[in-house]
Structure 1
Amino acid sequence: MEIILYGGSFDPIHIGHAFVANEVFQQFKPDKFIFIPAGQSPHKNTKPNVSDEHRLHMIQQTIDYLQFGEIDTFEIEQAGKSYTYHTVLYLKKKYKNCKLKILIGYDQYEVIDKWYNLEAITSLASFIVVNRSRDELTLREPFIPFTLPRMDVSATDIRMRIHNGQSVKCLLLADVEQYIREEHLYEEKKSD
């Protein structure tokens, strides 16, 4: 069984996330494509801006739109920081003998040497690296380059635009934008 793991804060999940997920899914055709929202990123000092419940709802709306994928809440159910190493062990135990690929952007690849227990992770899984901020990728083994047309969309920018009352049209899926508006998410520094 081939599994692609797509982790992140997804705060909020946006059109860039959906585009990457769709292109990678269509290219690799995994048996499972799993979105795993982070609880507390080890590389960030702050927790997500909205509740896990809101993030899960927006991810599910995106999955419904894409017509593939599932959510695993392993990381948000853990206390403390979310380490990919623990997630990989969990998935390898849950799906015996699976071939696991971890989908990351080039920004994460640039700091990959800071990841907890990287050597163990690379012995259990491979990485698909998307050219988030670059036009071309030259990577070392066992990292698989995946080049897409650049789409510079940022969750930080989206949160700031909503907070400032600016438009986010074309940056979010329509259902996700509607949900954010109905729930008044990101209108203040911290929302439920």
Structure 2
Amino acid sequence: MRIGLFGGTFDPPHVGHLMIAQIASEAAQLDRVDFIPAAMPPHKLFQVMTDASVRLEMVRLAVTDFADFDVNPLECERPGPSYTVDTVRAYRERYPQDELFLLLGEDMYNDFAQWKDAALIAKEVTLIVAPRPEQSMQDMKRESPKHISNVKVIHLEMPALDLSSSWLRKRLVAGLRVDPLLPREVAKWIAKTGVYNS
């Protein structure tokens, strides 16, 4: 089986996340994509985030209509910082014969060499990289994580999405509409619960 691992804060999950997962699934012929909300992303330890259980519920709602998308709560259930290497190890232990793919944005890809145990991650997974708005495909393909050998990478051929969860949160807090940019069930749930009301 070919499994895509899509980690992130998903605060909130938006249509861009679903688009990246769908295009990655097609490009790498994945059997499924697991969305893995991070409880405590190491690069955001001092940022205020919506509670992990709330983000987990929103991701579950976001993927409801996609048969080949799933949600794995392991990072929300694990104490301490949500290191990708720990998640990859857990998947490798559970799926010793399967091919693992790690979905990430081009900004995270550029910092990949600084991740905890990046070489171990690179040994176990193929990276699937989504472009960022200000970078061309040619620039993206020229860059690779420095000081890590044998990194396997698939660069997605797709429009760069200029859509961020932090921008959506600001609009939600201000009471502005964002529902066209959110999965339908997520938009309904946010409106019902008022989770982003200031």
Could you tell me the TM-score, scaled by structure 1's length? 0.91
Q: What is aligned with 2:147? A: none
Q: 1:48 to 1:11 in 2, by over 3 A?
A: farther
Of 149, 153, 177, the match for 1:143: 153
- Report the alpha carbon displacement of residue 59 of structure 1 after superposing the two structures with TM: 1.1
Q: What is aligned with 1:87? A: 87
The answer to whether the 8 Å contact 1:107/1:132 transfers is yes
Total equivalences in the alignment: 188
CA distance in 1, matches of 2:106, 2:82: 19
Runs (4+) off by over 6 Å: none
CA distance in 2, matches of 1:90, 1:169: 35
Render the CA deviation track for 1:79-101: whole Å, top value 9, x for unaligned: 11011111110000011211111
The answer to whether the 8 Å contact 1:40/1:46 transfers is no
- Report the alpha carbon displacement of residue 48 of structure 1 after superposing the two structures with TM: 6.0
The two structures, once aligned, show a CA RMSD in angstroms of 1.5
The answer to whether the 8 Å contact 2:25/2:32 transfers is no
- Report the alpha carbon displacement of residue 135 of structure 1 after superposing the two structures with TM: 2.9
Q: Are 2:186 and 1:176 aligned?
A: yes
Q: What is aligned with 1:110? A: 110
CA distance in 1, matches of 2:77, 2:15: 26
Q: Are 2:22 and 1:12 aligned?
A: no
Q: What is aligned with 1:52? A: 52
Q: Secondary structure at the match of 1:157?
A: helix
The answer to whether the 8 Å contact 1:9/1:48 transfers is no
Identity of aligned residues (%): 29
- Report the alpha carbon displacement of residue 167 of structure 1 after superposing the two structures with TM: 1.5
The answer to whether the 8 Å contact 1:10/1:37 transfers is yes
